[in-house]
């Protein structure tokens, strides 16, 4: 039968389980992202640390499986750790992205603004639903995406902007602030 112990000791153990699971899952989320970015050293290090933390945490939970509080906070720490790991990764913004801008009227002006800000851009003329459009591509560090979006929006509020993560094979002209 399950119990729901609320003693000071059980609450401290539950808090410890939650925090450790949150940290462990956050690190594991980062490890998965580093795996996609082919960063072997960080993948190994985070995998090692995460395994140690997981073993210690699960040992505490399994030592008192009848206490439902431990099981609930273990699951809550995992769920919160996923979101925290995603938030951390967005702040770190590791890696590169391909920014694609589609503008029906202001392609040349967008090119000029991006080049003035030292971004290497390529324009591809294309045909959209309503006629000719400019498709502008730019490979940048992920930390630069917001600045590029702001520059584009200053010229064309209606521009369609997408990004996708890319892995740099060779570093051509990656520049910008």
pLDDT, tens digit, 9 for 90 and up, residues 35-67: 887 789 999 999 999 899 888 888 887 887 778
* Angstrom distance (rounded) from CA 87 to CA 102: 28
Q: Tokens 């410890």 map to which residue?
A: 16
Instruction: Kindly report the backbone phi and psi dihedral angles of residue 96, in degrees, each rounded to the nearest multiple of 5, phi listed first.
Output: -125, 160
From residue 91, alpha-carbon distances to 28, 97, 100, 142, 165 in Å are 16, 15, 21, 10, 15
Contacts of 169 (CB under 8 A, 6+ apart): none
Q: Which two tokens stand for residue 40?
A: 């072997």
Average pLDDT, the chain: 87
pLDDT band at 174 (very low <50, low <70, confident <90, very high): low
Q: Which residues pair with 141 in a beta bridge?
A: 96
Q: Tokens 């294309």 map to which residue?
A: 126
User: Given a cut of 90, is residue 134 above it in pLDDT?
Assistant: yes
pLDDT band at 168 (very low <50, low <70, confident <90, very high): low
164 neighbors 96 (Cβ within 8 angstroms) = no
pLDDT band at 99 (very low <50, low <70, confident <90, very high): very high
């Amino acid at each position: 039968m399950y119990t729901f112990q609320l003693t000071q000791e059980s609450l401290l153990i539950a808090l410890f389980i939650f925090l450790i699971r949150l940290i462990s899952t956050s690190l594991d989320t980062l490890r998965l992202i580093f795996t996609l970015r082919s960063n072997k050293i960080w993948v190994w290090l985070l995998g090692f640390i995460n395994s140690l933390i997981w073993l210690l945490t699960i040992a505490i939970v399994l030592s008192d499986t009848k206490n439902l509080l431990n099981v609930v906070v273990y699951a809550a720490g995992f769920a919160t750790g996923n979101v925290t790991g995603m938030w951390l990764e967005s702040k770190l913004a590791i890696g590169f992205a391909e920014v694609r801008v589609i503008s029906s009227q202001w392609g040349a002006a967008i090119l000029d603004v991006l080049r003035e800000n030292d971004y290497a851009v390529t324009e591809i003329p294309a045909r959209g639903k309503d006629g000719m459009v400019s498709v502008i591509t730019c490979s940048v560090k992920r930390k630069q995406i917001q600045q590029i979006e702001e520059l584009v929006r200053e010229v064309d509020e209606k521009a369609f902007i997408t990004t996708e993560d890319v892995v740099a094979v060779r570093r051509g002209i990656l520049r910008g602030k």
